[in-house]
Structure 1
Amino acid sequence: MLEFRQVLQSYLRCSIRDGTTALFWYDYWTELGPLYLMFGTMGPRSLRIPLNATVSQAVCNGHWNLPPAKSDLAVTLQIILSTTPVPSDSNGNDVYLWKQHTGGFGKSFISRVTWGRLRIPSPLVSWHSVVWIREGIPRCSFIAWTSYLGRLPTRDRLISWGLTVQPVCVLCSNADESHSHLFFECSFAVAVWSHFCGWHLAAPPAALSSVVDLCAHLQGPHASLAVTVLKLINQVIIYHLWRERNARIFQGASMSQPAFFTVVDRALRDRLLSLPSVSASSPSLLELYFWFISPFS
């Protein structure tokens, strides 16, 4: 609780009215900040105010009720309180004020503003728009995101953690497993990508970065819609390659390449069929998908 209030103290202030809600030691209700930071653990004893007291408990008969100052800190507090209105029931309830986007404080709490001030933003990555798309399938987007971060527990990572596992890729058995190998260099993955190459995708991408470049420079009719289809193909292939890899390791089950092609194709068609056309004059995303896989499938 104490650590939570320490985080909030930069974003939350309390405007004292009746003093029955604001905590004397913990809330930011004077310009000195939370008083426990100023007085420490000896504060309640030196000022004779309990640790969990509200501000109203420091008032008696309409006046601030503090013992004679015995330290410079206590003198400073009494000077501040001499210019601070005394809490009164006639003033209404205490009001908490949140930091606004302008830097001041107001009554409204805006989660976007507060979150923007609390978090430490990371640099933008070039692939964010490839992973997070409105048309994506959430489970596929998540696995694609994790793969772009390089955080999936591939065998090279497991070995780097000190685990004793076989390094070889279970999809091809020709090289050690890593993110780049599993999704783009493995002969099984290359065959999958090749199956979905066509008019808009002349050759299988060589790496995750290649997909980002393709999305940025894809040319041809209805290029923006084609980019959406490419992003979805990328996510679905990555997801099902990861699922097939896990099935072979943990279940001892495997699919042939034709069966795998069918599973990926079905997932893509189901998703694309659920999406409306952008306009009556433009082709549907499903039609663009057929252009992707034509004429080689």
Structure 2
Amino acid sequence: MVSSLKLIWRLTSQQGSLWAKWVHTYLICNGNFWAIKESTSLGSWIWRKLLKYRDKAKVFHRMEVHSGKSTSFWYDTWSDMGHLYDVVGPRGCIDMGIRATASVASVFNRQKRAHRVDVLNQIEAVLENQRLKAVDAEDTPLWKQKEGTYKNLFSTKRTWHLIRQAAPIVNWHTGIWFQQATPKYAFCTWLALHNRLTTGDRMITWSSSIDPACIFCQHGIETRNHLFFECVFTAAVWTKLTRGLLGTHFSTNWDSILSLLVSNTLDCRVRFLVRVVFQTSLLSLWRERNERRHGSTPTPSASLVKFIDRQVKNKCLSIPVTGNQRLGALLQLWFASQA
């Protein structure tokens, strides 16, 4: 959504984007972006998607009026009343005697009227106030940065924070989204933390014909905690990889492992390696589980250990030694733990 809002900002900010000029020439023509019907047959699917996001963009976009020449009277937000067309509808254009295509500047010389409808009198008062403040300068497009603050720039970060639903910060986030994390491993781990992987206990709720038993050991229902790492097969893989690294802190319990990922009691190098092994093991075992579910030839645990070991070594080698004293000698530590 934020990327769509950014494209809308380019269309309405008049800042010289080649794409925006093309859209204004061939799709908007002499009309107004806010007034185009969603049912239009022009443009691609992304153009029609932008039209659908206009209601969301109206909350963020407004015009700072100076001369009023480039601000639409009905369709731009130039006062605290918002989009006036949304307030009074097509009937308002008739009652006020102002064309739907009129700019703010074009109605400055219009004679003020008295109306029987209060909202129309409010619009007249806002227009009169704007007429008194008019100066000979270009109007400025603005974008919302935070509540009550607008600037002549688009901030992806601030826009995202305004549209998203904020949630409490969880204590495990540093153990998953750390600086050197591999995105695909981190994402799969994030899904597992939210218990969104399609494990047997979840699939049985969708269809009673599905076998919910663990594909590795065939004992009990396959849950996330069982799969990582209470199952005999997965526990053997995890034990082989981390027993020497964790020592007395070793555990196959899901909650205990999560606490180790963010624990300050572990050496930072050990903690880093545990994070890498955990994420790599989780994705590798999940792939093996899916392949077995779909009839592929089972991979022995020793082969999985060898594959994960190779991935951990590659990660250690990918981290530059210079300028990173905290994570120095990672490969030596890993070799020592596997001896």
Preserved contact between residue 18 and residue 93 of structure 1 (Cα < 8 Å): yes
Deviation of residue 50 (structure 1)?
4.9
Preserved contact between residue 65 and residue 78 of structure 2 (Cα < 8 Å): yes
Q: Partners in 2 of 1:37 and 1:288 — Cα distance? A: 66
Preserved contact between residue 59 and residue 65 of structure 1 (Cα < 8 Å): no
Preserved contact between residue 268 and residue 326 of structure 2 (Cα < 8 Å): no
1:257 has 2:301 as partner? yes
Q: TM-score scaled to structure 1, two decimals? A: 0.84
1:105 has 2:150 as partner? yes
1:232 has 2:276 as partner? yes
Deviation of residue 279 (structure 1)?
4.6
What SS class does the counterpart of residue 167 from structure 2 fall into?
coil
Deviation of residue 17 (structure 1)?
3.5
66-75 or 1-10: bigger deviation:
1-10
Any residues of structure 2 matched to 1:169-248 within 5 Å, and which? Answer: 169-196=214-241, 197-202=243-248, 204-217=250-263, 219=265, 223-248=267-292
Preserved contact between residue 17 and residue 91 of structure 1 (Cα < 8 Å): yes
Preserved contact between residue 317 and residue 331 of structure 2 (Cα < 8 Å): yes
What SS class does the counterpart of residue 152 from structure 1 fall into?
coil
7-16 or 145-154: bigger deviation:
7-16
Q: 1:55 aligns with which of 103, 106, 112?
A: 103
Deviation of residue 203 (structure 1)?
6.0
> Residues 72 and 218 from structure 1, CA distance in 2 versus in 1: closer, same or farther, beyond 3 angstroms?
closer
| Percent of residue pairs bearing the same amino acid type | 27
120-129 or 275-284: bigger deviation:
275-284
Deviation of residue 20 (structure 1)?
4.5
Name the counterpart of 2:128. Answer: 82
Residue type of the alignment partner of 2:103: V
Any residues of structure 2 matched to 1:104-143 within 5 Å, and which? Answer: 104-143=149-188
Q: Partners in 1 of 2:332 and 2:72 — Cα distance? A: 64
Q: Partners in 1 of 2:191 and 2:158 — Cα distance? A: 27
Preserved contact between residue 263 and residue 271 of structure 2 (Cα < 8 Å): no
13-22 or 29-38: bigger deviation:
13-22
Deviation of residue 262 (structure 1)?
0.9
What SS class does the counterpart of residue 55 from structure 1 fall into?
coil
Name the counterpart of 1:73. Answer: 119
Q: Partners in 2 of 1:134 and 1:84 — Cα distance? A: 51
Residue type of the alignment partner of 2:257: V
Preserved contact between residue 66 and residue 137 of structure 2 (Cα < 8 Å): yes
Q: Partners in 2 of 1:203 and 1:169 — Cα distance? A: 27
What SS class does the counterpart of residue 198 from structure 2 fall into?
coil
> Residues 106 and 255 from structure 1, CA distance in 2 versus in 1: closer, same or farther, beyond 3 angstroms?
same
Cα RMSD between the aligned structures?
Answer: 2.8
Name the counterpart of 2:191. Answer: 146
Unaligned runs of 5+ in 2: 1-49
> Residues 258 and 206 from structure 1, CA distance in 2 versus in 1: closer, same or farther, beyond 3 angstroms?
closer
Q: Partners in 2 of 1:280 and 1:217 — Cα distance? A: 20
Any residues of structure 2 matched to 1:272-291 within 5 Å, and which? Answer: 272-277=316-321, 279=324, 283-291=328-336
Deviation of residue 206 (structure 1)?
3.3
What SS class does the counterpart of residue 123 from structure 2 fall into?
helix
Preserved contact between residue 170 and residue 248 of structure 1 (Cα < 8 Å): yes
Which string of whole-angstrom CA distances, capped at 9 and with x for unpartnered residues, describes residues 195-250 of structure 1?
01114344653333212212333646xx1121111101100000101010011112
> Residues 66 and 247 from structure 1, CA distance in 2 versus in 1: closer, same or farther, beyond 3 angstroms?
farther
Preserved contact between residue 155 and residue 166 of structure 1 (Cα < 8 Å): yes
What SS class does the counterpart of residue 79 from structure 1 fall into?
helix
256-265 or 13-22: bigger deviation:
13-22
